[in-house]
Structures are given as C-alpha cells and as structure tokens.
Amino acid sequence: MKKHILFFILLMAFSTMAMAQETKKVGVLPTVNRKGNVNEGVCLILQSQLAYAVTQKPGYEGYDRVDMGKIIDELDFQRTGLVSDDQIKELGKLNGVDYLLIAEVANYDINHVVITAKILNAETARLESTVPGEIASTNPKEMRESCMNVANMLLGGTVVTTTKTGVLTKGQDFYYLDGQRITDERYVEIIQSCPEAWLEYERGGKLRKTGRLLLFGGPVVCAVLGIIPGVLLESVPAGIGMGAFYGGIPCIIASIPCFISGKHKKDNAYKTYNQYCSQQSSVSLSFGPATQGIGVGCSINF
C-alpha cells in the first residue's frame, strides 16, 4: 500500500514538473504609441489586459512588469518601437521570459483604437507570430475582449471580433452619439475619423463659403465695376447702380443653391459616417492558421 502511495506522489510530482516546464513566460513590453496621440491610460490598460489575456491561454503566463533596465530607454521605445535582436535577447535573460510581446496602438475613431502586435522569441529574436490589426474600444471592459482576440491570434485559438461603432443621429438643434447629446466640436472630431464623411463635410463648408462670397461680395464688386461705364456715361452713380443691379442680382440668385447644398452636405455628413461604420462592421467568416510559429487555430471575424 505504501508503495502505491509513494508511486502516486512521485507521479504527481513529475506531472507538476512537466507542466511547469511546458509553461512559457511572455513579457509584454510597454505599448508603442508612435504618434503620441493615444491617451497614456489607454496604453497602460492595453499592456495590462494583454498580459491577462496571455495568462488565460493554457501553457502561457503573461507579465506586464518588464524590467527594461539600461538595455532600452522606455520612452524612446514607446515612441519608436525599435528594438534590436541583441536587445531582445538581453531583455529575455534579464526578465527570465521565453517570449516578448510588442503591441502598437493608433487612433481609429473617437472611441476606438487599432492594435497591432507581434511575438518574438527571446532566445533567438525570431519573429514567431503577428497580428496585423485589431480594432478595440477604449472602454476598459470592452478592451479585454479585443485583447483576448489578440492573444488567440498570436498564440492560437478561436477569434471572434466585433467592430463596435457609435451611431450618429441629428435632432432639431443638436447631434447625438448613441442617443447622447454631443457638442458641435465633438461632432466635427467624429466626422474627421471617417475620410468619406469628412470630405463631404468639407465640400459643404466650401459651398457655403462660396455662397457667402456671392451674396455679400458679388453686388459690391459689380457696383465697383459699374464705375467704369458710369464714367463713360458721365454718371458715376448710375453706373454703380446698374452694376449692382445687373451684376448683383445674378450673384444673389447663384448664392442660394450654394447655401442650400452646402448646408445639406455639412448637416448630413453623419449619414455617410454611419454608412461607413456599417460597412466596417459587416460580417465576414474566415478560417485559417491563427499563428505562424507557436500554435495553430482558426479565426472567425464579424
């Protein structure tokens, strides 16, 4: 009986050691923010969430407290994302990790960012796996789902990605994002995140500007030009009046469609934005390898 118990204990010990040996440690480096236009808090949360997501993968442990020592200047790294093969190997030894995860973030729209990431072998500096792009909400609770997707794409697994975008609507005097009233400045920021909508908004602004020039500047210019025939007719006031009337009236008439069309384009740019967002979040289904060197899985994108 004692032999059986001893054998069982030894078996459990060896199993535990085997599992410990199989667990790979992944160090998550500070998030790269090349343009510096993503909130520092978002970058910090992203690093932490990626480490958590890696830890949820069987056989992996994620660490977000990576000691960069004197190997790399942390601020320079966050601005450039540049790291040499020798630096990768030194970081691996310093932190006792098997892999290094480097993530980069950039603005996508007012409420979302784009995450790209890669896994590097800390012993050989070889690129093991990459994620070309994952759209994530800046809301910490929703960001976790995107980070789980990134971890699955890097380390193997099923990926379900849902692009979430706000819906713009127009009231009598104000604009609303998902039912919440927003300022005109915020509306412009949101429209700027969509190239098609911003182009329409700018065209509307140019048309309204043209309308103002025709309405106020046209009669004045024509009146001034009327001085010339007025001199020839030996009646400057009559020439000014003729110029203002015969030249100004067409300018005023032409300004009306410019005003109407320009206002329509500016006010309805939100529809183009909503249509653009709807196309971005359209459903697509694809299967394929989720990683290059570490594991194999499939991805499902919505």
- Where does 167-236 show beta strands of DSSP type E? 168-170, 175-177, 180-182
pLDDT grade for 298, boundaries at 50, 70 and 90: very low
Q: Which residue has the higher pLDDT, 112 or 299?
A: 112
Whether residue 291 is predicted with pLDDT greater than 70 in this model: the reply is no
- Give me 274's structure tokens: 């909503």
- Whole-angstrom CA distances from 301 to 56, 159, 280 are 20, 7, 12
| Distance of alpha carbon 184 from alpha carbon 231, whole angstroms | 50
pLDDT grade for 300, boundaries at 50, 70 and 90: very low
Handedness of CA 62, 114, 39, 71 (dihedral sign): positive
Cross-strand bridge partners of residue 134: 115
- The angle at the Cα of 239, spanning 235 to 245, to the nearest 5 degrees, equals 145
May I ask the CATH architecture of the domain 2-159?
3-Layer(aba) Sandwich (3.40)
Out of 95-99, 203-207, 279-283, give the one with best mean pLDDT.
Answer: 95-99
Write out pLDDT tens, residues 207-245.
888 878 777 776 676 666 666 665 565 565 766 666 666
State how beta strands 175-177 and 60-63 pair: unpaired
Write out pLDDT tens, residues 71-129.
888 888 888 888 899 999 999 999 999 999 999 999 887 788 889 999 999 999 999 98
Mean predicted lDDT score pLDDT of the chain: 76
Q: Which residue has the higher pLDDT, 171 or 95?
A: 95
At 168, the amino acid letter reads L
Q: Which residue has the higher pLDDT, 18 or 175?
A: 175
| Distance of alpha carbon 221 from alpha carbon 231, whole angstroms | 16
Handedness of CA 255, 261, 264, 265 (dihedral sign): negative
pLDDT cut 70: percent of the chain above it: 71
Whether residue 63 is predicted with pLDDT greater than 80 in this model: the reply is yes
Q: Average the pLDDT over 189-207 and give the result.
A: 81
pLDDT grade for 299, boundaries at 50, 70 and 90: very low
| Distance of alpha carbon 5 from alpha carbon 203, whole angstroms | 82
Q: Average the pLDDT over 280-300 and give the result.
A: 42
pTM of the model: 0.52
pLDDT for residue 257 = 84
pLDDT for residue 29 = 94
CATH 3.40.50.10070 residue ranges of the chain are: 2-159
